[in-house]
Copies of this chain bind each other. A is one copy, B any other.
Amino acid sequence: MTTPLMRLGLFLQGAGHHVAGWRHPEADSGGENVGLIQRVAATAEAGKFDLLFLADGLTTGADAHPSAMARIEPLSLLSALSMTTKHIGLAATASTTYGEPFSTARVFASLDHLSGGRAGWNAVTTSYSRSAANFTRGEHPAHDERYAIAEEFIDVVRGLWDSFADDAFIKDKASGHYIRPDSIHTLDHKGHYFSVKGPLNVSRSPQGHPVIIQAGSSAPGQRLAARTADMVFTAQQTLEEGRAFTQGLKRQVREAGRNPDHLLVLPGVCPVVGATEAEARSLYAELQGGIDPAAATRLLSDRLGHDISGFDLDGPLPDLPESDQLQSRAKLLTDLARTQKLTLRELYYLVAGARGHRIVWGTPEQIADALESWFRAEACDGFNIMPPFFPTQFERFVEDVLPVLRRRGLARTDYDGPTLRENLGLPRPANRFFSEQAA
């Protein structure tokens, strides 16, 4: 058996992942900087990355992370990039709390058509309660209810994606049949949260279903992922945590009757690349030095779900009640602070770097080592790469780190097929309403 390849996503954020990354002299930035984004996407494709990954948020303000302050809406951006790329997967975040299943099914199926089968949907429940105020909602649903909504939402979307048989559109000019009779299914979903009649007005797309990604690590989040996700994006900091999470989740996938190889776990990691260890350390220090303490404190408060601005930055993390917002991400941070005895300042440096994701700095060999150790220990199936700033830090990853991983047989040298599912080794889902045609 050959070693599987490390799956690689590029987590694309216009101002970089480090909160002060955009200030670096080499940095170009902007969530609406189309030229920069096209350049970065082309670099990722040249590096044979499996996918581009876009986050999303439904609020902004002067306090927001520069990458989240203003940005092109993710589906619009990926639809554009579907024309400027040929092979790389295109995955975007969309909320199950502030969306409509019919509309979400439409846009992702559309992206799959536009891209020839490269679409992925990161289904999130939207953590921040302030989002409600932009959508004429009085209340943001509580954590567990958001997951109950998400479960039904995803189920409806997948049903809508199966509205047409794969070979429905025969366009027979002689008979006048544009569509083959009896090749449309009306879903007629009537559930607890949604009533959606269907059919969807997009035909079945090249992948059958776009790849489904999730990011929740709470117990309800894991249950949902085990049942429905093709990929999980996560945020463990240590190899032991990573392995416990990944192996625990794969166990749940097996218990749900699925093949554990068909759920891929990709932790986020922020690589700070230098030609020498000294250069990398100095770059990392330079980035940390650029942080505005007030901004970092707000960012950490945001990630913890509690205002920590009144506490001593050089003291330990105070006891905080559980937040309903970012339950799993807040818990990862809190656990880390306890086990590693971090001060609030150390914690805020972590969050400022990559919003709580793992940061690795060093030479290309050292970064390759850091990735390989997790991968060999089965703590993950690959990584979602979160460069501190664009474009040069990402270019160094592609030009200097990837060749090391390739020499070790860990990173792909070319794409396997035209679709994201093929490149990820994931099966094309059967249509629940129409059987496959005989070949």
Binding site for B on A (CB under 8 A): 15, 20, 22-25, 27, 29-30, 32, 34, 57-62, 64, 66, 68-73, 75-77, 79-84, 98, 100, 102, 106-107, 110-111, 113-114, 130, 133-136, 164, 168-169, 171, 173, 176, 178-179, 181, 184, 186, 193-203, 290, 292
Contacts and interface: CB of A to CB of B under 8 A. Distances in A.
Contact of A60 (B98, B135, B199): B199
Given A34-B114, A79-B76, A60 B136 contact: no
Contacts of A203: 32, 70
Given A22-B178, A80-B79, A136-B196, A184 B61 contact: yes
A106 B59 CA distance: 11
B173 A80 contact: no
Contacts of A77: 79, 110, 114
B32 A113 contact: yes
Given A201-B71, A202-B71, A62 B181 contact: yes
B135 A196 contact: yes
Nearest 8 CB-CB pairings of A with B: A79-B79, A60-B201, A133-B197, A83-B83, A76-B110, A73-B110, A70-B203, A76-B79
A179 B69 contact: yes
Contact of A134 (B27, B76, B84, B196): B196
Contacts of A290: 176
Of listed A30, A176, A196, A198, residue having the most chain B CB within 10 A = A176
Contacts of A57: 201
A154 B79 CA distance: 25
Given A76-B110, A110-B73, A113-B32, A59 B201 contact: yes
A30 B171 contact: yes
A171 B73 contact: no
Contacts of A68: 201
A399 B198 CA distance: 41
A436 B388 CA distance: 35
Contact of A20 (B69, B164, B176): B176
B62 A202 contact: no
A173 B199 CA distance: 51
A62 B30 CA distance: 45
A197 B84 CA distance: 35
A86 to B, nearest CB: 13
A292 B202 contact: no
Contacts of A27: 173
Q: Give the interface centre of A20, A25, A68, A179 by most chain B CB atoms within 10 Å.
A: A179
Contacts of A181: 62
A99 to B, nearest CB: 8
A201 B58 contact: yes
8 contacts: A22-B173, A24-B173, A34-B113, A72-B202, A76-B76, A76-B111, A79-B79, A133-B195
Contacts of A24: 173
Contacts of A22: 171, 173, 178
Contacts of A136: 100, 193-196
Contacts of A79: 75-77, 79-80
A82 B83 CA distance: 9
Contacts of A66: 178
B196 A102 contact: no
A427 B199 CA distance: 41
Nearest to A176: B292
A186 B202 CA distance: 36
Contacts of A76: 75-76, 79, 107, 110-111, 114
B61 A199 contact: yes
Given A24-B173, A70-B202, A76-B110, 11 more contacts: A22-B171, A23-B173, A30-B171, A59-B201, A62-B181, A68-B201, A70-B201, A72-B113, A76-B114, A100-B135, A176-B292
Contacts of A130: 197
Contacts of A30: 169, 171
Nearest to A190: B136
